[in-house]
Structure formats: C-alpha cells, structure tokens
Copies of this chain bind each other. A is one copy, B any other.
Amino acid sequence: MTKTRAGSFFEDYRIGQTLVHAVPRTITDGDRALYTALYPTRFALASSDEFARACGLPRSPLDDLAAFHVVFGKTVPDISLNAVANLGYAEGRFLSPVYPGDTLTAVSEVIGLRETSNRRSGVLWVRTTGFNQQGEPVLAYVRWVMVRKRDPEAPAPDPVTPTLAEAVPALELMVPPGLDFTRYDFALAGEPYRWSDYSIGERIDHVDQVTIEEAEHMLATRLWQNTAKVHFDATIRDDGRRLIYGGHVISLARALSFNGLANAQLVAAINAGVHANPCFAGDTVSAWSEVLDKAETLAPGVGALRLRTVATKAGAPAFARLDEAGKHRREVLLDLDYWVLIPM
C-alpha cells in the first residue's frame, strides 16, 4: 500500500465535516524579511516596529496577507490537491494580528457541496479558520473550489449551496486592540491622503509594474508551505509552464497599491476574490483600485475603505475589467474586493 497522499476527491467530503490541517508553522522575522524581498511592499505598519508602536501595537505585525497565505497553504493537501479550479473567496476576516513567534494552525469545515452537471466533479465550499498558539482565531474565510470525483458514478450528496454575505459588514470589521491612528505620521507613511480624501467611485492607477520570475513565485509559494504541484513542476502542463499561486498575485497587487493607497495599513476583510486568468512567469503585472464603500470604526482615528483592486497584465487598457458579455477580460488576473483600515 502506498503511503503517499493522493488527496481527497469530491465524494469524500460530507457537510459539517471538520478537517484539521497538518503542519503547524511558527512565524519569524525571517518570514517578514522574505515578504519584503518578494513583494514591493512599503506599508509602514508592517515595515517598522517603531511606527507600529506609535499606532498602539506592541510591534510590527506580519503582513495580513502573509498570514492568509500560511493558513491557506495548510489547507491545500486536504482541499485542493485534486482541485480543477479555485473558484472564489468570501467572508474573509482578519481577526487578530500575527507577530513573529506566533505558531499558526488551520481547521476547515465543509459548508457546501454541489455536483457539477457532467458528474465528473463538484464544487466544495469550506470555511477555514487559522489559529495562533493560544487557540485564538487569527483569520477566517470561505473558499470554494471545483474538485474532481474519483469515480464519476459515485452518488452525489444532496446539494448544499451556502448563503454567503456579499461583503463583510463594516460593523463586523475587527480592528486590532490598541490600534490608534489619531497621531498618525503621514509623512513617515509616505502619502498625505486620509480616509476623508477618498470618495466612493474613485479610481486609482497604481502605476508601478513588476515582471514575475519563476524563482520568485516558487520561493513565495514554498514559504507558505503550499504544495500544489502545478506551481513547482514544469512537466505537468503541456506548455511546460508553471501556474503561479493566485495568492502571489494578491500580494503583488496589494504591494503595488501602496502607490496611491500608502495609508491603507491593514487588510481587515476579503469580501470576494476571483483569479480571473492564470498568471505565468514573464508576465508583467500592474494594478488599479476603485473605492467601493467607506465606513467608520469604533477605534480612535481608524476608518475603513472597501476597495476593489484589479491586477492585470501590463498593457491592458486603463481601468478595464469586464468585457461586453460581463465576463473578466483576458488581461485581468485578479479581481479582489476587500476592506482596509486607514487613518481618518
């Protein structure tokens, strides 16, 4: 009998099933340095312990998206090893900052199952929660993927499609305890724009672009202990290309958004996210954002912006997202709807 993991297939999942994901991971300053080397990120709160302390935090937290990737990575062997496609995210909430020294684990619950019409696969919805070593949840999100069936003839479970919030309500956004932006240093942070300077519907071209190398996305994806074969093995696809982990594009887009959103210091929620087209090494990525909504929070000086950030291949027309049929254009790599925290 083989001891290697073949991964689970659609018919292996049951509604309510709990998946305890393997391999806890201690976060260190090394992860922070690598995140800086991998993405052109400059948000002051994740860059400087002193800036973080001036904002009421004990020290500089790990970039929220790095914490997301670590938790996501743990789920891959149990959820997406036989996935055909990563279909979407919803109800993503960042619940507590992660600091170097914290050890993360992850658990998922199966909340939706629906066989596809051709009976060869099905859509699986899971709600994943990442925990620190105190057992406190640090982030949670719903993700759905299309998973192959081992046997097309296997009976389908009763279809369950979960009802998901179109966006995390502003009132439910978690602000890290102690966070205080009332004495925020805009000069040190790099831009003068505060919450009140942004208006709903406003669009920002982030200007900067990055051409991606194979070594970079593989270093990143391994750092998150994400084992999906397509990211590492050039012999899988007929064209010899390695598919880039979608989260790599999320972090790239967020880092590029510094130019115009330098004060959007923390990601508070992911409302929705679609990897509209595959990304490969050699692609040059640019990003633009649109302000979808604004909200206040109860924390001193802390406001929230709901943003849509779109990553595209370089050369795409400005602010182009959907084609005439309402589908994502070919040049769109990522369409991410999320909340950020920004000084009022």
Determine whether A51 belongs to the interface, using a CB cutoff of 8 Å to chain B: yes
Q: Is the CB of A25 within 8 A of B3?
A: no
Interface code A233-269, partner B: CB below 8 Å = 1, 0 otherwise? 1110000001000000000000000011110000000
Interface code A33-51, partner B: CB below 8 Å = 1, 0 otherwise? 1101111101110011111
Q: Is the CB of A187 within 8 A of B22?
A: yes
Q: Is the CB of B187 within 8 A of A40?
A: no
Interface locus among A89-97, A147-155, A188-196, A292-300: A188-196
In the bound complex, residues from chain B placing their C-beta under 8 Å from that of A100 are 29
CA distance A25 to B2 in the complex (A): 41
Q: Which residue of chain B has the shortest Cβ distance to A220 in the bound complex?
A: B37
CA distance A33 to B211 in the complex (A): 24
Interface locus among A121-129, A161-169, A200-208, A271-279: A200-208
Indicate which residue in B31, B34, B51, B222 contacts A24 across the interface (CB closer than 8 Å). B51
Q: Is the CB of A222 within 8 A of B37?
A: yes
Q: Is the CB of B213 within 8 A of A33?
A: no
Indicate which residue in B33, B206, B218 contacts A216 across the interface (CB closer than 8 Å). B218
CA distance A125 to B48 in the complex (A): 28
Interface code A217-241, partner B: CB below 8 Å = 1, 0 otherwise? 0111011010101001111000000
Q: Which residue of chain B has the shortest Cβ distance to A314 in the bound complex?
A: B235
Answer whether A33 and B30 are a contact pair too, CB < 8 Å, given A190-B23, A233-B284. Answer: yes
Q: Is the CB of A209 within 8 A of B229?
A: yes
Copies in the complex: 3
CA distance A315 to B189 in the complex (A): 45
Indicate which residue in B29, B32, B215, B225 contacts A47 across the interface (CB closer than 8 Å). B225
Q: Distance (Å) between the CB of A148 and the closest chain B CB?
A: 16
Q: Which of A100, A133, A235 has the most CB of B within 10 A?
A: A235
CA distance A31 to B26 in the complex (A): 13
In the bound complex, residues from chain B placing their C-beta under 8 Å from that of A5 are 191, 207, 259-260
Determine whether A60 belongs to the interface, using a CB cutoff of 8 Å to chain B: yes
